[in-house]
Chains A and B, each alone.
Chain A
């Protein structure tokens, strides 16, 4: 298993735990307990689950198992996949902190914009590197 895949898989497990903890927090808020801010974590809950857990697990396994790109670079340009890992995770974590605080000042709004760009850039670089590896048997 390549090193970057191990990072993707381990981080995906952490996001799964994080998503379920936020889900617990949302349920607590529905009971009328805890800070009102908890209710604003709903989009973070979905995105920890879909992007942090499911998509990152797929990224890691796809990078590991998809057909080789070329004998000298079997998994394409590894640097792009490392960029995906960093960009998606920094973007997701920024989002988790900033999104519930949108409306409390322009700083948080711009932080959300940065989070959106980072997540998007990570996804695009993964597509860029993986696309040529998806091909019929030679």
Chain B
């Protein structure tokens, strides 16, 4: 598993634990009221589970297993940017209900989440290709690397 996928998948596991904790607080409060602030967690619960857990896991595994270009995974910076943007967006969505008059945080957070997904699409788009194209790419890359090595000798 490449290092960036490790970051994605570990982040997704962290968000699943966090989203599950938010959900457990909300549900238990619904059963036996003990935390009057519990419903403030609802937006964060939904975003953390949908985008933090499910989406980051899918993106992390996609980064790992989609067809490559020889030894490289294409525009890797976009995938790194997507991870940073999604995390910043989620943090803003999580803190919004706890800061007075901070509705702008929620808006900026959601924009960052959208930008994260767009950045990942920019990264992954050229990697979605049939096996033959992928194999031809790999062979062309290997031939190029062989040629470079011979040139250096």
Q: Using a CB-CB cutoff of 8 Å, which residues 18-49 of chain B contact chain A?
A: 20-21, 23-25, 27-28, 30-32, 49
Which partner residue on chain A sits nearest B31 by CB separation? A112
Q: For the complex, what is the distance from the CA of A54 to the CA of B55, rounded to whole Å? A: 11
- Picked from A98, A117, A134, the residue with its CB within 8 Å of the CB of B13 is A134
Contact across chains for A108 and B31 when beta carbons are under 8 A apart: yes
User: Is residue B10 within 8 Å, beta carbon to beta carbon, of the partner chain?
Assistant: yes
User: Is residue B6 within 8 Å, beta carbon to beta carbon, of the partner chain?
Assistant: yes
Q: Using a CB-CB cutoff of 8 Å, which residues 37-75 of chain A contact chain B?
A: 50, 54-55, 58, 67
Contact across chains for B20 and A124 when beta carbons are under 8 A apart: yes
Contact across chains for B32 and A131 when beta carbons are under 8 A apart: no
What 0/1 pattern do residues 73 to 93 of A give for CB contact below 8 A with B? 000000000000000000000
Q: For the complex, what is the distance from the CA of A124 to the CA of B20, rounded to whole Å? A: 8
Contact across chains for A98 and B6 when beta carbons are under 8 A apart: no
Q: Which secondary structure characterizes the binding site on chain B?
A: helix
**B-side contacts of A113, CB under 8 Å:** 27-28, 31-32
User: Is residue B94 within 8 Å, beta carbon to beta carbon, of the partner chain?
Assistant: no
User: Is residue B152 within 8 Å, beta carbon to beta carbon, of the partner chain?
Assistant: no
Q: How many residues of B contact A (CB 8 A)?
A: 25
User: Is residue A1 within 8 Å, beta carbon to beta carbon, of the partner chain?
Assistant: no
User: Is residue B3 within 8 Å, beta carbon to beta carbon, of the partner chain?
Assistant: yes
* Given A50-B49, A102-B31: A135 and B17 interface contact (C-beta under 8 Å): no
**B-side contacts of A134, CB under 8 Å:** 1, 6, 9-10, 13
Contact across chains for A120 and B24 when beta carbons are under 8 A apart: yes
- Picked from A54, A106, A112, A136, the residue with its CB within 8 Å of the CB of B28 is A112
A116 to chain B, nearest CB (A): 4
User: Is residue B16 within 8 Å, beta carbon to beta carbon, of the partner chain?
Assistant: yes
**A-side contacts of B30, CB under 8 Å:** 99, 102, 112
User: Is residue B88 within 8 Å, beta carbon to beta carbon, of the partner chain?
Assistant: no
